[in-house]
Every structure is written in C-alpha cells, then in structure tokens.
Chains A and B, each alone.
Chain A
Amino acid sequence: MTSILSVRALSKQYASGHKALGSIDLDVREGEIFALLGPNGAGKTTLISIICGIVNASSGSVTVAGHDIVSGYRAARATTGLVPQELHTDAFERVIDTVRFSRGLFGKPRNDALIEKILRDLSLWDKRSARIQELSGGMKRRVMIAKALSHEPRLLFLDEPTAGVDVELRRDMWDVVRGLRDSGVTIILTTHYIEEAEEMADRVGVIRNGDLILVEEKTALMRKLGRKTLRIALSEPLAAVPAELAPWVVTLIDEGHGLEYIFDTHSEETGISQLLGRLAALGIGYKDLNTQESSLEDIFVSLVHAPRGEAA
C-alpha cells in the first residue's frame, strides 16, 4: 500500500522555547484509519497543525500525496481536510453557506449535489438553513466535518472528534468515520479516548512528550503487549501466598479469597497448567477461574508512564 502522508525528521520548537515535537518520522497508508494517541500536551495537535499549514515546522519535511507541504502547498492542502479540536464556527452564517464557502476556499467549483450528499450523510440536511449559532455542540461538530469534506479530500484529520460529545453521538460519529473510510478517505484521528482507537483504528501511534514512541497495527499491538490476568476464586481463604507458589509471582486478592496471576499471552509457556497443578498438589481448592485480556488503555497507560527509552 502506498503512503499518503510521509513525515520526516519533523521537529517544532515554539518561540517561547517550548519543544513541542522532537523528531517525528511517520508514514500513513492510503485508506487506513490511523489513531494518534497521547496525553494532553504530547504534541498531537502541533503535528497535525504543521501538516495542515497552520503552524510552521522548525525543521524536517512533510509530503501529502507526494506534494511537499511548503513548496507544493496548493496541491498538498487541496488533498487535505481538517476538523480541529475546538468548535470554531461563524455563528451568523447558515450551515449550507459555510460549507459552500469551504469548498470555494479550497479551489473547487460550486457543486450543489455534492454538498447536499455531504449534508445528508451527516444528518445536517434538515438544518441547512439554520444559523450555526442555533445548533447544538454535536451539530456544530458535524458542520465542521462537512466543511472539511466539502472539497473531497483524500486525507482527513480529525483532532479529538468526540471530545465533549455524549456517548450516543460518539457512536454516530464513529459510524460517520467508518463510512468515510469505506469511501476511500484516509483518516488520521487524535484521541485520548482509548476506546475510540480500539474501536476504529487500523493502526495506532503513541506520542509522548513530542516523540512518536510507537507505531503498530492495533491488533498486533494488543497481541504483542497484551497481558492476561488469571483470577482464581479460592474455596478457603489463605492468610498468605504459600512459598511453593513463588515461581509464578501470584498475589493475594479479595482479603485472601482469591489469587491473581498475570501472564504474557504470547510467551511460549504461560505457566497456567503448572500453577493449577501445584495448587492441587498443595490441596488448595478453587471454585472459579477467569481470565481477562488487557485493553489498549492498559497498554497505553503502561507506555506513557514508562521511563523514556523503555517503552515498547
């Protein structure tokens, strides 16, 4: 698959001296949904802002669909759509006018049929003549997506698309994003809702303190870094972990009513059967077992809290 976005050794230091981006290298494939994860202030928005031309890079280069964002800014920007995090709208404009304006601004001739389709797809058609100030927050977010799609971009940035959006609307938004991907648009979204990345992304990048510390297929990431937890509910409570169980590093939970064992799902030997065998040999009875897979969230927390260099 070809790259629609290539970022090379990109860095940014603001005039205040704050170093927002270290040295970023990233390739995004055409047609995928790429989720950029990271805590607030990690540099996600700065990275997007540089690619879209809102912030100047300190060094490094970016190409969008093969066009350099500085020397070939017209072609690069015409290919790109941006939905920023903040709800920036022209309060007094009508919905349909503001979407038409965006299309013109991006150099495309008027196309009412297309604008109608975009507005219908985003459930905005009934609101087309409403002034933007009359809309709810979720509707305003849709208007911003409609504006970003008005010039038929091949690459769409969604910066925290569901921040401050209620659960139901978030599901709607995910459907919208999947629909866009199905129509061939490459989507890069930033989020700090892990659930969102887990639900939608094909690949995940984790950014921390201005460095991209990991880029991985989501499923591979979960497999690679996935840990499972085995919980054993004991028939009789234990006062302490018997010395014979030391090789498995088990911990006592539920005030002695259970044992917890964390194991690596992709290691050769998980040690479960040996552990259960040892329990039987020691005469420790149990009434229930359950295992749980760690979520992307657990992985993420362990990554962003790991000291620099140890992550991944």
Chain B
Amino acid sequence: MSAFNLHAIGAIYKFELHRFARTLLTGLFVPAITTSLYFIVFGSAIGSRMTEVNGVPYGAFIVPGLIMLSMFTESIFNASFGIYMPKWSGTIYELLSAPVSPLETVIGYVGAAATKSMIIGLVIFATAHLFVAVPIAHPVAMIGFMALIAVSFCLFGFILGIWAKSFEQLQVIPMLVIMPMTFLGGAFYSIDMLPPAWRTVTLFNPIVYLISGFRWTFFGHGDVSIAVSMACVAGMLILCLGVIFWMFRTGYRLKS
C-alpha cells in the first residue's frame, strides 16, 4: 500500500458528494430561491430607494454578503453533518478501523463539504446576476477567497460535528452564533454607516473582516484592509487545523 491512502480520500469524497447528490433539489434550489427572495425584498423593493454604497449600487453591494452568509452556514452544516452522521449511526467504526490517517480523513470530508459550498456560492452568484450586474475587480482573488472561506468553515463544521452529542448541538452554533454575527457583520451594509460607537463594537466581530475581504475582491475596497482580512482567514484556518489535530491525537469524542 502507498504511504498516502489516496483510495480512502477518494472513497470518502465520493461518498459525501453522493450524499449531497441525493439532496440536490433542496441543496441547490433552496439557496437559489433564498437569494432571489433577498433580491426582490432588499435589492428591488428597498434597494431602489437607497443610495449607492461607496459608489456601488445597493443591489450589487449586498451580493458578496449574501454569498458569504450562505457559504458560512452551508459549510458548517454540511461538514458537521458529514462526520456527525457516522458517529450517530455507528458506522464510524469502519473509519476508525481503516488504515486512514487523520489528514486523509479531513481531506476527504472537508474537501467534499467545501466543494459543495463552492458550488452553492457560485449558484448564488449566478442567481444574483439575473437581478443585477455585479462587477468583479479581482476574479482570481475572488475564487481564491471563496475557496479559503469554504475550507475554513468546513473545518470549523468538522470540529463541531465531532464535538456535538446531539442534533440540537449541531444546529446551535450556525443558527445562534454564526447567523447573527453575519447579519451584524456588515453582510447587508457597510460598517461605515454605523454610529462610531457601534462601529467600534462591530470591529470585535471576526465575520466583519471576512465579509469585507470578500467585498474587496468584487469592488476593490472593503471596510477594512484586505491584508487584515487575509490574516483573519489564515488565523481561522490555522486555529481549526490545530484543534482537529488535537482531536485526532487524543481521540476526543471519537475513541474511548
């Protein structure tokens, strides 16, 4: 056998994508319809009465935030579910007894979940294009940023899936923490619009830096500098990898 179990990565990756394919209808149509609804309400009904934000029409301005909002929650849901289900159903025995390293396991599960997140992000982008013209200042950076966000949040979801002991715990973090932080993190507004005191409070929300960075790839400017945003994504990536490494090394909630 080769030193690196590529067959196992492929098997896990395919298994997970197969799982997504079974729920393709809800998996892709829901984000597309949700995006359309956002555009009808925010873009057309309210947006038409709003002025431009930093020289960008409001309808286009909210596109990066919308993509991020869906990608954050979808990444966490998909990755956490992917590893939580075998734990819950008991089929994890096979993964634990297989000649698979932690790294290979993570690449398989997180890779598949991140792939799905990327597809969802692009579906939302395409849907948005039906309503408004969205310029992209830095296309390569935009795709790269999306991929980094997908991987980071899927890693975070993977941790959540290992940690969770119930379906409820699985939902708590994305619904009660990430969703509010995203709404308050400038998904639909520039934090420059806030009173100075609130702006300062908002800067403690790490999501601000992620959305700002993604918006930079579209319009060439964000609420904070792109370097700070990149550092924030890199920090999250490293933190999650560290936690996962620790979880596998100690067998946390996987092995007794």
**Hey, which bits of chain A sit against chain B, CB under 8 A?**
14-15, 52-56, 73-78, 80, 82, 84, 86, 88-93, 97, 100-109, 147
Contact = CB atoms under 8 A, between A and B. Distances in A.
A76 B1 CA distance: 11
Contacts of B15: 93, 101
B105 to A, nearest CB: 10
Contact of B251 (A56, A82, A109): A56
A300 B52 CA distance: 84
B99 A86 contact: no
A15 B256 contact: yes
Contact of A54 (B14, B96, B101): B96
A62 to B, nearest CB: 13
Contacts of A105: 7-8, 11-12, 94-95, 98, 100
Contacts of B251: 56
Contacts, number: 87
B2 interface: yes
A101 B95 CA distance: 11
Given A104-B8, A107-B1, A107-B8, A52 B256 contact: no
B78 to A, nearest CB: 16
B255 interface: yes
Interface of B: 1-2, 5, 7-8, 10-12, 14-15, 18-19, 22, 89-91, 93-101, 251, 255-256
Interface SS of chain B: helix
B232 to A, nearest CB: 35
Contacts of A90: 89, 91
A45 to B, nearest CB: 11
Nearest to A97: B18
A100 B98 CA distance: 14
Contacts of A91: 89
Given A54-B97, A92-B22, A105-B94, A78 B11 contact: no
Contact of B8 (A55, A73, A106): A106
A269 B150 CA distance: 81
A107 B101 CA distance: 11
Given A97-B18, A105-B100, 20 more contacts: A15-B256, A53-B97, A56-B256, A74-B1, A74-B5, A77-B98, A78-B99, A82-B94, A84-B90, A89-B91, A90-B91, A102-B94, A103-B11, A104-B7, A105-B12, A106-B98, A106-B99, A107-B2, A107-B98, A147-B94
A84 B15 CA distance: 21
A100 B18 CA distance: 13
A107 B98 CA distance: 8
A103 B12 CA distance: 11
18 contacts: A14-B256, A52-B93, A54-B96, A55-B255, A55-B256, A56-B255, A74-B99, A78-B1, A82-B94, A82-B97, A84-B90, A86-B90, A89-B89, A89-B91, A101-B14, A105-B7, A105-B8, A105-B11
Contacts of A14: 256
A109 B7 contact: yes
A88 B91 contact: yes
Contact of A104 (B1, B2, B10): B10
Nearest to A77: B99
B30 to A, nearest CB: 19
A75 B256 contact: no
A109 B91 CA distance: 21
Contact of A82 (B7, B19, B90, B93): B93
Nearest to B8: A105
A276 to B, nearest CB: 58
Q: Quick one: which of B5, B12, B14, B251 has the most chain A CB within 10 A?
A: B5
Nearest to A51: B97
A175 B96 CA distance: 29
Given A52-B97, A77-B97, A89-B91, A108 B7 contact: yes
Contacts of A84: 90, 93
B22 to A, nearest CB: 6
A93 B255 CA distance: 25
Given A75-B1, A88-B90, A92-B22, A53 B96 contact: yes
Contact of A88 (B5, B18, B89): B89
Nearest to B22: A92
B186 to A, nearest CB: 39
Contacts of A77: 97-99
The 10 nearest A-B residue pairs measured at CB: A104-B11, A88-B90, A74-B99, A77-B99, A52-B97, A107-B5, A105-B98, A104-B7, A54-B96, A78-B99
A275 B90 CA distance: 60
A54 B100 CA distance: 12
Contacts of A80: 97
Nearest to A12: B256
Contacts of A55: 255-256
A73 B3 CA distance: 12
Contact of A107 (B7, B89, B90, B255): B7
A100 B11 CA distance: 8
Q: Quick one: which of A101, A104, A109 has the most chain B CB within 10 A?
A: A104
Contacts of B255: 54-56
Q: Quick one: which of A76, A102, A106 has the most chain B CB within 10 A?
A: A106
